[in-house]
């Protein structure tokens, strides 16, 4: 391959970690794997996703995974070119995934350095690509060390407060016949914890390894196990009869994206909903990685797969190194529904107060949100009064929806045998994933890409509009805002809109005044 046939990709390197030091070249004999992502095939016209998603669910036509692979998977010619490229540089083709549009190559550092004309180095920049977005409630001084499981909300109670539908046409809505995918980049779950938490009636949970990842509990309740078990216990409480696939992958952009595409194209489990509770500031990602994620999410939308992602737990800066205003990715991906956080106060199942989650002064975090500096303003957000991004340009507003996330009003969970109260926007993504599984069961087909329909007048009328609070950079306001998006859900009302295009009443609109 000559230099004339190569195209160097701008903005393809991660930003240098502060105070990182270059120690020297990487071991040339070290084995590694690289995933090559290919363009879509041209066997069919790619659907107009936004146009289809603006219609009531019953009118939508989604492709099956098999139909998608045949019409839009990687072409045999493109895969053959990758094989030829690999052979030229002594690389091995480890796996080919035409539907996922990817080919996995393996080889040594020296071989990959020659193949891609890049220098791989060894140093102190071994940071993971993403962080989990959960917060364990801190204990006031003098409180007993043992966690009080009863101190938080059971997820089913939160679902009742948000009027999640429980029956439709004499059918109990419990997720029967549905499958939910949960992406994890570390940690694991203990079956004994799930059996105990669900009183020996745990949902059907399957661990699925990606790129060498596996269900590997650390037995540290303060570590990544807290994320994994929170996600399963929240989603499983809302949709107890749904199958749950937990996709474990290494915490790299390659592992993260491979986990996403594995879930989207899984012809065995066939999940129609994906929950993502990991992410990081946009400025810590390469442009190529973000574009590849968005492309994969577009593919998911054509197949009726709904994706939710937590918007982050560090307020409007998203924990950026320089303290600048940043939104969390992948929540900022336009084809993913970003999930922000609230502080929810209940009297029984009645909401007495709900404001934006912001406990920054107590080091308890705050809901992420703001305006993307990477993705332009989507057509379906044109009338949402999204402010310009910090760079002064229009951008995609984050989040889209919200739910209880403040650890002070968090969820009672069981992690590594210990009861805990955990919040964070991590809890909101599986909460919405469970709710969507109920929608899919009720309607009899997947709702798919939600965002365009949520921003219609009918969709917006189904939310509890959160008008009080901030996230340290933006304030709540009437309608959409960069703290809690459109607000928290009235599940029954939203189901009505997804089914027919209209809410059953103006009940949801009246709830704004209470906040």
Residues belonging to the active site = 227, 231, 426
Please name every residue paired with 422 in a beta bridge, in sequence order, or none if there are none: 136, 411
Q: Is the pLDDT of residue 145 over 70?
A: no
Q: What is the pLDDT of residues 187-203, one digit of tens each?
A: 999 999 999 999 999 99
**E strands of 359-400, at which residues?**
370-371, 397-398
Q: Residue 387: which pLDDT band, with cuts at 50, 70 and 90? A: very high
Q: Which residue has the higher pLDDT, 11 or 173?
A: 173
Mean model confidence pLDDT for the chain: 89
Are the CB atoms for 413 and 137 separated by under 8 Å? no
Q: Residue 502: which pLDDT band, with cuts at 50, 70 and 90? A: low
In this prediction, residue 266 carries a pLDDT of 97
In this prediction, residue 469 carries a pLDDT of 97
Contacts of 302 (CB under 8 A, 6+ apart): 46, 47, 49, 62, 63, 68, 72
Q: What is the pLDDT of residues 257-285, one digit of tens each?
A: 999 999 999 999 999 999 999 999 999 99
Q: Taking residues 118-126, report their average pLDDT.
A: 56
Q: Is the pLDDT of residue 213 over 80?
A: yes
Q: Which residue has the tokens 């984050």?
A: 398
Q: Is the pLDDT of residue 142 over 80?
A: no
Q: Which two tokens stand for residue 444?
A: 């009899």
Domain 131-514: assigned CATH number? 3.40.50.200
Our CA dihedral for 248, 251, 253, 254, rounded to 10 degrees, sits at -50
Q: Of all residues in the chain, what percent carry a pLDDT higher than 70? A: 89
In this prediction, residue 120 carries a pLDDT of 66
Q: Which residue has the higher pLDDT, 12 or 338?
A: 338
Min mean pLDDT across 96-100, 213-217, 384-388, 437-441 is at 96-100
Task: Give domain limits for the chain.
Answer: 24-123, 131-514
Calpha distance 248→230 (Å, rounded) = 15
Q: Is the pLDDT of residue 254 over 60?
A: yes
Q: Is the pLDDT of residue 448 over 50?
A: yes
Q: Taking residues 314-330, report their average pLDDT.
A: 95
Are the CB atoms for 153 and 408 separated by under 8 Å? no
Q: Which residue has the higher pLDDT, 109 or 265?
A: 265
* pTM across the whole model: 0.91
Calpha distance 234→154 (Å, rounded) = 8
Q: Taking residues 445-464, report their average pLDDT.
A: 94
128 φ/ψ angles, rounded to the nearest 5 degrees: -70, 160
Judge residue 345's burial from the number of C-beta atoms within 10 Å of its C-beta, 0-12 exposed, 13-18 middle, 19 or more buried: middle
Q: Is the pLDDT of residue 14 over 70?
A: no
């Amino acid at each position: 391959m000559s230099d004339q046939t190569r195209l160097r990709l701008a903005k393809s390197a991660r930003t240098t970690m502060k105070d990182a030091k270059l120690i020297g070249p990487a071991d040339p004999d070290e084995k590694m794997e690289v995933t090559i992502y290919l363009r879509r095939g041209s066997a069919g016209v790619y659907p107009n996703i936004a146009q289809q998603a603006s219609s009531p669910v019953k009118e939508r036509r989604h492709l099956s995974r098999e139909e998608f692979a045949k019409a839009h998977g990687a072409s045999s010619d493109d895969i053959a070119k990758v094989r030829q490229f690999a052979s030229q540089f002594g690389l091995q083709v480890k796996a080919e995934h035409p539907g996922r549009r990817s080919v996995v190559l393996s080889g040594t550092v020296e071989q990959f350095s020659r193949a891609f004309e890049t220098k791989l180095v060894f140093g102190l920049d071994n940071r993971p690509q993403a962080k989990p977005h959960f917060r364990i409630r801190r204990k006031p001084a003098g409180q007993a060390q043992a966690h009080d499981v009863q101190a938080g909300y059971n997820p089913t109670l939160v679902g009742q407060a948000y009027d999640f539908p429980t029956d439709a046409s004499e059918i109990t809505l419990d997720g029967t016949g549905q499958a939910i995918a949960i992406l994890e980049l570390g940690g694991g779950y203990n079956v004994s914890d799930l059996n105990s938490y669900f009183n020996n009636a745990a949902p059907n949970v399957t661990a699925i390894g990606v790129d060498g990842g596996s269900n590997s509990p650390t037995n540290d309740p303060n570590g990544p196990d807290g994320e994994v078990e929170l996600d399963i216990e929240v989603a499983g409480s809302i949709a107890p009869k749904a199958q749950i696939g937990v996709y474990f992958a290494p915490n790299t952009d390659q592992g993260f994206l491979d986990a996403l595409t594995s879930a989207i194209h899984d012809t065995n489990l066939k999940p129609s909903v994906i929950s993502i509770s990991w992410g990081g500031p946009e400025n810590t990602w390469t442009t190529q990685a973000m574009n590849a994620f968005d492309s994969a999410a577009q593919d998911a939308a054509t197949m009726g797969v709904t994706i939710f992602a937590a918007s982050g737990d560090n307020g409007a800066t998203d924990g950026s190194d320089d303290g600048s205003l940043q939104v969390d990715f992948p929540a900022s991906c336009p084809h993913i529904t970003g999930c922000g956080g609230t502080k929810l106060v209940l009297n029984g199942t009645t909401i007495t107060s709900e404001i934006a989650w912001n406990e920054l002064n107590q080091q308890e975090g705050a809901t992420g949100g703001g305006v993307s500096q990477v993705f332009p303003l989507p057509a379906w957000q044109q009338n949402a009064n999204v402010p310009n991004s910090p760079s002064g340009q229009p951008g995609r507003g984050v989040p889209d929806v919200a739910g209880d996330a403040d650890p002070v009003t968090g969820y009672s969970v069981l992690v590594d045998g210990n009861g805990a109260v955990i919040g964070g926007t991590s809890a909101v993504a599986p909460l919405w994933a469970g709710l969507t599984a109920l929608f899919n069961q009720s309607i009899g087909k997947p709702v798919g890409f939600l965002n365009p329909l949520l921003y219609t007048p009918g969709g917006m009328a189904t939310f509890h509009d959160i008008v009080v609070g901030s996230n340290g950079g933006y304030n709540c306001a009437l309608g959409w805002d960069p703290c809690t998006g459109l607000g928290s859900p009235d599940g029954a009302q939203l189901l009505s809109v997804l089914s027919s295009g209209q809410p059953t009443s103006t009940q949801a609109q009246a709830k704004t005044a209470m906040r």
